[in-house]
Structure 1
Amino acid sequence: MQIIKYPERSEWASILARPQFDTSSLNDTVSTVLSDIKKRGDEAVMEYEEKFDKIRLTSLLVDSAEIEESEYLVSEELKAAICLAKKNIDSFHRSQIFESKKIETTEGVTCWQKAVAIDKVGLYVPGGTAPLFSTVLMLAVPAKIAGCKGIILCSPPNREGKIHPAILFAAKEAGVDKIFKIGGIQAIGAMAYGTESVPKVYKIYGPGNQYVMAAKQLVSLRDVAIDMPAGPSEVQVIADDSANAAFVAADLLSQAEHGADSQVILTTTSESFISDVLQEIELQLFELPRREIAEKALQNSKLILLRSNSEIIDMTNQYAPEHLIIETSDYMDIADKIVNAGSVFLGHHTPESAGDYASGTNHTLPTNGYATAYSGVNLDSFVKKITFQKITKKGIRNLGPAIEIMAESEELFAHKNAVTLRLKE
């Protein structure tokens, strides 16, 4: 990890830059695969499954027998943990249910909104380097609460043509309607365009590698909505001398093990604390099964020494991290000044892992600085809001003259006439 001491503000942008990888051929590959799936449907999807996931499939749909079998392949301890997480995720997202209010903006003019579930949604759950069954809960639980009628899920199969049983169990518990053995670009294409087996959806959700993200962004240009643009996972930790160096090291490593293109950052005003964290990282890294992946991520990562909390806050809001952990004695004071972050974890006993799995908040979050403008997935991600208005005779008399003069000033005389006729009546 790179240690950076007291950088000038003019250097911050380059210091905080996310890892860059050669993607020159990425968009061409993604476009080619998407175009082929749009033309040939299931046939193309199966060919790309064989090419990319190394498995020849005879059917894309996971049948009921395979779903039932997952119940016996998942340990009782894991099933209990999944059910606890589901309960907490359900409670938190249920609290976000929209309550509509009718507002009389002018006497006789009433306006209101109605939240309506997006009918058909597609969930993408990665299963390459790690089976992310937690993502199933994060996406399917709020979709079910919102009232989405068609919830389909795509996840890559293993070399035996199976989806990890924990993903299947979580999908069943969360109320997913159909599950398909499809990974990567081909999953996004199948959900965006529809195939003989896979229904076309109206919106696609979920994380993935650079190919998945590129595919999501390409199909969003004209075929389907997506939850957000996103990229490799990241975390920033703000810590002071009151923090436990072992906790901080564990928090940094928990994000680094996501993937070689992940980024982790520590910001602090304590130089001695940086040394303590480095020692802990070396100790803990040695024990990790995904050590090689974490080591690659740490090459993109930084320990930054700053002069004051004020600088830390400014740098954080410039970086706009996906995950932000504040492990300081005055964490609420700092948190109150944070305006750009996906999800924030407060105090010494709140690891980012809690949000990843079971606290109840959603772990599908904006990365790559998009937290400056995007929220993470929440209940609103699965609904659209329709506005309504009702105007009485008294209302059109009160509002009509203003509409007439505005329409005439914009030279839209049919607009004016629609009001004038009513006023004459």
Structure 2
Amino acid sequence: MFRSGSTFAVSAFIMAVDRPLLASRNSSEASNDRDIAEEDALLTGHPTKRSSDGRRPWAFWREVGLFVWAVVATAFVIVLAVFYQKSQDSKHNYKSPSGKRNLIFMVSDGMGPTSLSLTRSFMQFQNGAPWSEQLVIDQHLIGQSRTRSSSSLITDSAAGATAFSCAMKSYNGAISVTPDHEPCGTVLEAAKKAGYMTGLVVTTRITDATPACFAAHVHQRGEEDRIAEQMVGDYPLGRVVDLMFGGGRCHFLPNSADHSCRGDNKDIVELAKNNGFNYIDNRKAFDDLKGGSGLDFPMLGLFAETDIPYEIDRRNETDVYPSLHEMAEVALKALSEATRNSDKGFFLMVEGSRIDHAGHHNDPAAQVHEVLAYDKAMTSVLDFLKHDETEGVMVSTSDHETGGLATARRKPFTRPYHSQYSY
């Protein structure tokens, strides 16, 4: 016997038993059954049963149709995008790189963002220019780079230039050798092997770390005597540099000669001449090159015993030392004329070398003028590229920053520190 109030439930149960079990199920219930069947199929590995006549349900073919439509639509969009890009390339006359090329690689050694800020402000003040006036290098600044070496968070010029020349990180002091002291091929050597002419223009010793990394391989940057020998052709690859301008004459003179700094009595100038080099060592001989049109290759020009003086001093000795932009202009013209009838161009490395030294010496006046000299050399390179018949590319970068230069402001007539004591 059922309790009072349950009559309706019992009646509903009897009615349900009298009818076919699935007669009253709605679509959601059927869908649930399909879901359960699919789950069972996934768990057991047995396929779900198809309809009694063996045909797949309409839902299956609808999903296949949607998939095919998506594939066709995607392919159509890709084809449309390709045709649009080709039309844009044709409109703007874009061409794949081919044919003769020149590459000028410029290095502002030891220069960082603060060096540029200080130099820019000095230029504006000196010229009475508005605060918006920019350096030439400002107009080509596109980013920054991470410069650690394999042995230190702070790289030196040797490891930095090895990364530039070999595209490999190495330890501080390495001259185009890997961390396990194996020589690595340089971009200058590759250019020479490919038939290009090559050159190096610097304001330090030509045997200093940055130029050395393009044309020598030694374990430590201090081996400048050996670097000098390799640069003039005492080298497994023979002579790989066609033109060198800079300082460092003392490493090319035998120690029996005045102003030599070699540790032995080898005469590297004589070795260079025996290997075909034309040699000059003073301003008059440089001027006799007639801006490059009177230059005979290969050329070795050493204009100072060690480093060419800072620009702030050199500008008062123009009759003794050529400037960075003058050396760059002569090199560019000479290399351009020498490759005029060749299907190969040239590779030239130009370094604003002594920005680095001014930073190390905490000499902001010298550093500003070194950056200005580099900026002027960049102007010369850009002007050359604009007017030269051969297409060319200039790449300008810095290897690291030196000196910890900081620019700040303080109130006039106050000490840069605060103390209760007088000094």
Give me the TM-score of the superposition, normalised by structure 2: 0.25
User: For the pair shown, which has the larger CA radius of gyration, 1 or 2?
Assistant: 2
